[in-house]
Structure 1
Amino acid sequence: MAAYRVTLRDGTVEMIDGADAYQQEGQMTTFFATASGRQVVDCWSTRVASIRTSEVLAIRRVEPRREGPATIGAEPVRVGLHLA
């Protein structure tokens, strides 16, 4: 699974781990974990987090690193998570 780095208007950066996709739902941007093997948000998807869309400046997908000599895992480190 990938993660998303979300930059907010106040300059903070939030990491949304365990999400495969996101979409706008009314005034919120919602991040989803999709069912195994699925590439779309559908009835099998699980909501992971929501952030008020008006607070979002940028969303960047962060792919997990491949296992290597230095480290294993996704970067950057989680800063925090605001659930709505």
Structure 2
Amino acid sequence: MLYKVLEVPGIEYIVLDFKSSDGNFIAQDLDDSETWNAKAFYQWLIDEVLVFTDDGISGMDKDLYKQFKAFANQRGVCVCDSRKI
């Protein structure tokens, strides 16, 4: 699901490592070697990458948006429209 989310803004340089037994993961930016844990990665996507619209997120279909929102919420990250903050 997250690779589909990364396709929305056209990001190809991030790899996800799902080896954790607790369902979490590590994301790594191959360009600058920055890494994020699952919660920080969701927060980065929301705050810095995804573009919110009145209908959700630009370029993301409603089913993918629902999945993204559910998984972010499981990790304690609120998917809030950054235009309203």
- What's the TM-score, normalizing by structure 2? 0.31
**Larger relative contact order (Cα-Cα within 8 Å, sequence gap ≥ 6):** 1
Give the structure with the higher percent strand. Answer: 1
Give the structure with the higher percent helix. Answer: 2
Larger radius of gyration: 1
